Amino acid sequence: MRGLKTTKNRIRHQVFTEVARMAFEGTDFSRLEELPYKLVPGEISTYYDNIFLERAIIGERIRNTMGLPVRKLSQHTLLSDGFENADIAEKYYEPPLVNIIKFACHACPEKRTYVTDGCQGCLEHPCKEVCPKGAVSIKNGRSCIDPSKCINCGKCIQACQYNAIIRQERPCAKSCGMHAIKSDEYGRADIDQDLCVSCGQCLVSCPFGAIVDKSQIYQTCLALKSGVPVYAAIAPSYVTQFGQMADEGHMRSALKAVGFKDMVEVSVGADLCAIQEAEDFLNEVPDKLPFMGTSCCPSWSVMAKKQFPQYAECISMTLTPMVLTARMIKKQHPDARVVFIGPCAAKKLEASRKSVRSEVDFVLTFEEMAGIFDAKEIDPNTVDPEESRNESSADGKGFAVQGGVARAVVNVIKEKHPEMEVNVASAQGLDECRRMMMLAKAGKYNGYLLEGMACPGGCMGGAGVISDVVKASASLEADKNRTEKKRSTETEFGSYLELITRE
């Protein structure tokens, strides 16, 4: 849960910090084996049945954070097994990205209707009367539901005046818009990797912290130590993620203190993306394509292409802001490495895909970057800030919130054709995105610009954010209002567009 300092978030942060510290300080196999004992000291367990289980779970978190695969409890291997595959200062990623530590999974019920202690044993028993399957009976004056008969229709829930009957659903499965999470033979959560688009919402939703995603923290820190210039390309949703004072000037100073050569805001790439998508929309809709979907959210675009392959060409082929920014950096600094820092787990997949050269060497979430800051004992709120450069537009920064991408594209179109009406439909969350595509398939959105965002709230609700989504979105809106340039066409980087998209 974002915005709260929960035990799960604290443990994740500790692992990220220790792995980063280990990379900066240098290590051997023995230190890796000692880390679970440092993070889980003593002899008495705190959260699970025994301390051995706690250390085993921490060990798998460490492995995943280093980019190594999660092991089964039945495997007899050292924690450092495969360490040589992670101990490299280059891009390292082996799918699947999102994994379940099976022995940390609580095996929550997939879905059940459940009578709580709130049942008052009333005379009327409306729950029993409305049940179409006879699943509700009265035992010792209280309602009881037979799960073998219950079809989870919810009629008993609606009938109870005490709100004593609830529907319980596995949190990770409920959050998965791809319906990719089922149960294995032991009742534990299991991910269908053919359906998964790595949005990471299950990771955020699991209250037991059993779902983890692979990281490139270790490899990024090695790159920062290597002497090669490393540039940080930071997503516009960074506002308040590292504290209320961590604005552009503070962030650039803090990232340089960590070892980055410089910081470039990805909202600059968002401005270029808006210009390109506006041009594509004008050229292709409706003469060549019935509608056009935005390209910037990888989970949304992969879902749309997988489940609606006949409309794959209707999803914009414009390079995403992350890729456009990385290409711009490497045009200026060919020998540099680029680290994208943002809210999104799926960007790790996008950076690794082979169909389009991304020029992104590493991807970190804000949560992972916070671990690196702590490993170096740097607080972005207290460093001496650099002067703000104000390179991007308010519309470019608005890519981070729902509706912002379409708004930026429409504003570019309006500058060229003020009289033109552009119809827009937007969706947040993959279930909503799927419904939008079904309507488009039915011809309801012909001539429309469709904006899809896999995460509720847009990028501000991504799996890798730290701050409360609503508060962070409000802070971003305030930042947009302070920005001098309002439209994507007002920035100075338009000349780069042809140079970085022709390859």
What percentage of residues in the chain have a pLDDT greater than 70? 97
Half-sphere exposure of 53 (CA within 13 A, CB side): 12
**Do 81 and 106 touch, CB atoms closer than 8 A?**
no
Handedness of CA 265, 360, 11, 37 (dihedral sign): negative
pLDDT tens across 340-351, in order?
999 999 999 899
Q: Reply yes or no on whether the pLDDT at 210 is more than 70.
A: yes
Tokens for 343, please give them. Answer: 């809210």
pLDDT tens-digit profile of 399-429? 999 999 999 999 999 999 999 999 999 999 9
**Nearest Cα to Cα of residue 460 among 387, 418, 405, 502:** 405
Q: What pLDDT score does 145 carry? A: 97
Please say whether the beta carbons of 234 and 39 come within 8 A.
no
pLDDT for residue 502 is more than 70: no
Name residue, tokens 């904006």. 451
| More confidently predicted of 404 and 90 | 404
CA pair distance 466, 13, nearest whole angstrom: 10
* pLDDT for 202: 97
Residue with tokens 């791809």: 178
pLDDT grade for 358, boundaries at 50, 70 and 90:
confident
456 vs 87, more confident: 456
Tally the C-alpha atoms within 13 A of residue 285's C-alpha that lie toward its C-beta: 27
Q: Kindly give, in sequence order, each residue whose CB lies less than 8 Å from that of residue 27, ignoring residues fewer than 6 positions away.
A: none
Higher pLDDT, 75 or 229: 229
**How far apart, in whole angstroms, are the C-alpha atoms of residue 469 and residue 2?**
7
Mean pLDDT throughout 199-222? 95
* SS3 state at 139: strand
Assess contact for 160 and 181: CB atoms under 8 A.
Answer: no
What pLDDT does residue 503 have? 47
Residues across the chain: 503
> Concatenated DSSP letters for 161-195?
TT--EEEEE-HHHHH-TT--EEE-TTS-EEE-TTT
* Residue burial 87-123, b: 16+ Cβ < 10 Å; e: rest: bebebbbeeebbbbbbbbbeebebeebebeeebeeee
Q: How far apart are CA 203 and CA 38, in angstroms?
A: 24
Residues whose CB is less than 8 angstroms from the CB of residue 329 and which lie 6 or more positions away in sequence, other chains included: 231, 233, 264, 336, 338, 359
Could you tell me if 42 and 52 are in contact, meaning their C-beta atoms sit under 8 angstroms apart?
no
DSSP secondary structure string for all residues of 357-394:
-----EEEEHHHHHHHHHHTT--TTTSPPPPP---S-H
Q: What does the pLDDT read at residue 449? A: 98
Given a contact cutoff of 8 angstroms between Cβ atoms, the answer to whether 208 and 104 are in contact is yes
The two structure tokens encoding residue 304: 């749309």
What is the reported pLDDT for 1?
66
Per-residue pLDDT at 498 exceeds 90: no
Using one digit for the tens of pLDDT, what is the confidence trace for 129-157? Answer: 999 999 999 999 999 999 999 999 999 99
Predicted local distance difference test score (pLDDT) of residue 52: 94
User: Would you say residue 91 has pLDDT above 80?
Assistant: no
Which spans in 47-89 are helix H?
51-65, 83-86
**Predicted confidence (pLDDT) at residue 168 exceeds the cutoff of 50:** yes
| Joined tokens for residue 202 | 């299950």
Taking a C-beta distance cutoff of 8 angstroms, is the pair 422, 407 a contact?
no
How many other CB atoms are there within 10 angstroms of residue 151's CB atom? 11
Per DSSP, the three-state class of 450 is strand
Average pLDDT value over all residues in the chain: 93
Residue 85 pLDDT > 90: no
DSSP string, 85-127: HH--SS----S-SEEE-GGG-----SEEEEE-TT----SS-HH
Beta strands 337-342 and 362-365 are: parallel
* Neighbouring-strand partners of residue 342: 365
Burial of 10 (0-12, 13-18, 19+ CB in 10 A): exposed
3-class state of residue 339 by DSSP: strand
Q: Phi first, then psi: what are they for 169, rounded to 5°?
A: -140, 140
Which two tokens mark 258? 């960590």
Range list of β-strands (E), 260-348: 262-265, 292-293, 337-342
- pLDDT score of 214: 95
Residues 366/236, Cβ–Cβ less than 8 Å: no
Encode pLDDT of 17-66 as tens digits: 999 999 999 877 778 899 999 999 999 998 888 999 999 999 999 999 99
